[in-house]
Every structure is written in structure tokens, then in C-alpha cells.
Chain A
Amino acid sequence: MSVLENALYDLHRLEDLAAGETFIHRLHPGANFLATAVFVTVVASFPRYEVTGLMPLVVYPAFTLLLADLPLGFVLARLLVVSPFVLFFALADLFFIRAPLVRFGPFFLPAGWISAASLLLRFFLSVSAALSFVATGGFVPFCAFLARWRLFRPFASVLFFVYRYSYLTLEEAARLVRAHNLRAGGRGLRLREWGHLIGPFLWRTYARAHCLYLAMVARGFNGVFPSFGPPRKWTGKDLLYVSTWTIFFLLARCVDLAALLGGLVLGGTR
């Protein structure tokens, strides 16, 4: 499979996973969204050189991944795919921030190492939480949830279209590359061939997007994302889920839970 076909497969896989029937899948989309949003905000709010304080937060993505029955390998593979950008910044920290920060006997650990570890940990936590949010709630139900509020309706429509048209763009690109590869005798795309392909690719994508738009308009679409079924009500479970996690995240942010736990394990020596 080509890179494009893999990307398309991944998108389909996320939607398939979102159709699960676990406790996490049955949560109100708003509960899932709020818990994830608070989590990402708390993770981002930690200072640059914080590592141990972030550790207890691993519980949240681990909890959702396990309870939602999401394949760990799939999530880790997706994390790797989007990691190069963050790895670049982490490496830059390693090389450019050399001031000593932590002392182990005669050795000093440079600040760059700590900030790189913190950056990678925050990236891992945030992206895995976001992935499990999409893989348990689904993107379109989330758009439908947003569309319940008049204020967010245009935003929901734009998100929905970006999502659908990204599918379409990937499908067209994958077809074009497959058609090229079938007749290219095993060699990849040359730079000068990109110029010939980009025009037909854009035109085909536009034509299909136009057809899709016409199909929507023909069925009464007027620019507003439609909501399917009666609005889902919040249940006690949803409220309990959001409030429990919010309390835990705030606690983890205000109290060094790792140090506290370490102290308890070591018999209150700290």
C-alpha cells in the first residue's frame, strides 16, 4: 500500500473504531470532549522543565485506551507518524540548552534533556488523548454535538467539510498515484512528473467535491450541519466522568502526585 492508501486506511480505521460499544463509546460526546479538552489544557500548562508532575496524567490516555478497547499498536503507530516535528524540537533542546539543571553526584543533567523529555511526554499525552477521543466518539458525532449551539454551527459545518473533503482528496491522490505506479515500471514519481499530475489531481478533486456538494444540495442541504435524532441528554454517568477527571487533572496540576506517592511508598520519609 502507498503512503496515501495507508492514510486513507487509517481514517477509515478511526471511524470503524468509533463505532464500538464500550462504556467510553456510550458517553455523551460533550463529556468526552470536555474531559479531553481539560486534560490537554492541564498538560500544556505545566512548566517547561516538568517531568515527574506529568507522570500521573498517563493514567487518562491509558484508561481510555484500555476501556475503549482501542488497539495500542495502532495508536502508537499514529503517534510515531506525527512525531517527527516534535522530535525535531526535542533534539534542538538537547543541543542548544546545555545549562546544568539537575545534579547526580558528580554529574550534571543539562536543562535541554529535561525540557526535551517534558516536551515528548506532553506530546505523547496530548496526541494519544486526542486520538482516543476521535476513535471513541467519532468526528461527525462531535460536529453534530457542536452544531447544537447556534454559535458553533458554522464551525461545525467547516469542520465537517474539511474532514469529508480530506477523504476525497486522499482518495483522488491515491487513485492517481496507483494509476501512475501501474505503468511506471516500478520507479517512483519523478519531480517533473508532479507538475503533470498536480493539475489533473486538483481538477478531479474539485469535480468530485462539486458532485458531492450537488448531491447534498439536491437533498435540501442549506449550509447548516444537520443534527440526527433527538439531542442526547447528559446522564449522571457523563457528569460523573467529566467531574472525576477534572478533579484528578487539577489535583495533578496543583499537587506533585508522583512525589506524594513516592513519599507514601517510602514510608513518609519525604
Chain B
Amino acid sequence: MSHHIIEVEDLKYSYPDGTEALRDLSFRITHGESVALIGANGAGKSTLLLHLAGLLFPQTGRVRLGGITVTRKNILQIRRRVGLVFQDPDDQLFMPTVFEEVAFAPVNMGVPPDEVKELVNSVLEQVGVSHLRPRPPYRLSHGEKRAVALAAVLAGLPDVLLLDEPSAGLDPRARRQLIELLRGFTHTKIVATHDLDLAWELCPRTIILAAGTVAAEGPSREILGDEKLLRCCGLELPLRLQGGPLVGTTRE
């Protein structure tokens, strides 16, 4: 299956104020891969995710998904295949109940009402928050909001899952649950994160972004074990390699 291959070629993007967010960025992610996107603040991770989701368009270069170049003309087709979970769930949740929040994508995609109900129930079950179905999102804890935000994206049945800082603000138990949940997904996953231990556990491959371009890429164990490289890019070794406590796991 080649339809989930993501190719980014010489991507360049500057914000209207002139800030160069991405420059000459190229990489390729194959079907079913789980890739960590790491980098210091302002390295361009979130901007890149917005390009992959078809919410921003390259000024030069191109983004291809399954062989199709992302353009304004085929954007609806692309957005059906890519699901983006935002960094802050409060930026993503806007409907009055969890059910309507999760139903938002399938309803917009024209799924018949009976199937929407079934789909929402199954996704909420999968994420482990079916008890929150009738509740308003603003009454939920941060961890619950994040789970609902993930369910809301999964309900769109995307092939590719983009996650922006998925473990930010989660307590150790919720973080562990999230890791286990994501580990079970067969989607092609791109995880932009500062949580290098999560990257170590979840993603066999890592791409480091620095100043809007790829500074290094390769197997996570090699990249995340290279202290010199990480320091150059404004990062540190994962806690597990520093001899620090392993968040959310039991010490042996």
C-alpha cells in the first residue's frame, strides 16, 4: 500500500511578518510509519504539521500525500485522509457536548446519522471516554479534553494521524494511557513533541528540525542517544538516558 506515503520536497514557508518558519525542508515517510518530529521551540514543527494537514500551503516546494500534491483544489480530499490533533485541546473543542464534538467530522463528511452515532460510540470506547459522551467539553479535565480531541479526530477515519505535543499537560498516568493507546493505532503517525521519552517509546524513527529545516533524521535510538547532536539543536537526552526517573513507568 503506497497511498499513505508522505513526501515533502524543498518546502519553504514564511509568515506574513517575515519570520522564516520552514526552509528547504525535505523528507519522506512511508505507509504505517510512526515518526517523531522533535526540535526546539520555534523550530517549525507546528507549521510543518499545518502544511501536512492542508491548512497552510507551501510558498515554494511541495507536499505530497499518497502521490497527490496538496493544492487548494484537492484540499477536501486531503483533509479527509489526514487528522490533526492540536497542541491545546481548548483550541480544538467547540461543540456543546462531547458527542457533538466527536460527531462533527463525520457529519461534515456526509456520514448518515445512524452510522455517525455508531462511529462516535466506537471511537469514544476506543479512547476510553465513552462515559463522557453527554458532558460539555469545558467541564472536563485537561487529560479528558485531550482524549476527546483525539477521539474527535479519529472519528474522521483518517489514514494519517498528526499529533502536536500530545503529552503536554498530562499527568503520568494519562500520559502512559496515551502512549499505550497510540501504540495500538495502525495509522501513519507523525508526533511533534518535546517529550523525548515518548518519542523513544512510540516512534522507531525521529526527525530533528532546527531553524525550519531537517537537522538530522534516522532511527530514534541513534538520534535520541546522540547527546552532542541534541545539544546542538537545543535539546537534551531523554530522561531514561540521563538516569532520571521514567515518567509513568515502574522502576525496576
B-side contacts of A138, CB under 8 Å:
96
* Given known contacts A15-B136, A140-B96, A219 and B91 CB-to-CB distance under 8 angstroms: no
Check if A220 is an interface residue, CB within 8 A of chain B. Answer: yes
Q: A-side binding surface: helix, strand, loop or mixed?
A: helix
How many whole Å from B232's CB to the nearest CB in chain A? Answer: 31
Closest to B106 in A: A220
- Which listed residue, A16, A140, A212, A220, touches B91 by the CB 8 Å rule? A212
A-side contacts of B53, CB under 8 Å:
218
A-side contacts of B95, CB under 8 Å:
140
- A interface footprint on B71-108 (CB within 8 Å = 1, 0 otherwise): 00000100110111010101110111101100111011
Contacting pair A226 B94 (CB below 8 A): no
* Given known contacts A140-B100, A218-B55, A222-B108, A212 and B94 CB-to-CB distance under 8 angstroms: yes
- B interface footprint on A206-247 (CB within 8 Å = 1, 0 otherwise): 001001101111111110001111100000000000000000
B-side contacts of A164, CB under 8 Å:
94
Distance, CA A214 to CA B82, complexed state (A): 13
Closest to B50 in A: A214
Contacts A221-B104, A226-B107 given; 17 further ones with Cβ under 8 A? A12-B139, A19-B134, A211-B88, A211-B91, A215-B92, A216-B94, A217-B55, A219-B108, A219-B152, A220-B80, A221-B108, A222-B76, A228-B99, A228-B116, A229-B113, A229-B117, A230-B114
A-side contacts of B88, CB under 8 Å:
211
Contacting pair A219 B105 (CB below 8 A): yes
Contacting pair B91 A226 (CB below 8 A): no
Hey, which bits of chain A sit against chain B, CB under 8 A? 12, 15-16, 18-19, 138-140, 164, 208, 211-212, 214-222, 226-230
Closest to A140 in B: B96
Contacting pair A230 B50 (CB below 8 A): no
* Given known contacts A215-B91, A217-B79, A226 and B108 CB-to-CB distance under 8 angstroms: yes
How many whole Å from A97's CB to the nearest CB in chain B? Answer: 45
Closest to A229 in B: B113
Check if B11 is an interface residue, CB within 8 A of chain A. Answer: no
Distance, CA A12 to CA B137, complexed state (A): 11
A-side contacts of B44, CB under 8 Å:
none
| A-B residue pairs, 10 tightest by C-beta | A220-B108, A211-B91, A219-B105, A226-B107, A215-B92, A230-B113, A140-B96, A220-B109, A214-B55, A218-B84
- Which listed residue, B76, B82, B92, B156, touches A212 by the CB 8 Å rule? B92
Closest to A226 in B: B107
Contacting pair A16 B136 (CB below 8 A): yes
Contacting pair A15 B96 (CB below 8 A): yes
How many whole Å from B136's CB to the nearest CB in chain A? Answer: 6
Distance, CA A207 to CA B84, complexed state (A): 18
How many whole Å from A12's CB to the nearest CB in chain B? Answer: 6
Closest to B76 in A: A220
How many whole Å from A8's CB to the nearest CB in chain B? Answer: 9
Distance, CA A214 to CA B87, complexed state (A): 12
Distance, CA A162 to CA B107, complexed state (A): 21
B-side contacts of A217, CB under 8 Å:
55, 79
Contacting pair A220 B100 (CB below 8 A): no
Q: Can you identify 8 A-B contacts, CB atoms within 8 angstroms?
A: A211-B92, A214-B50, A215-B94, A216-B104, A220-B108, A226-B108, A228-B107, A228-B116
A-side contacts of B97, CB under 8 Å:
19
Closest to B96 in A: A140
B-side contacts of A228, CB under 8 Å:
99-100, 103, 107, 113, 116
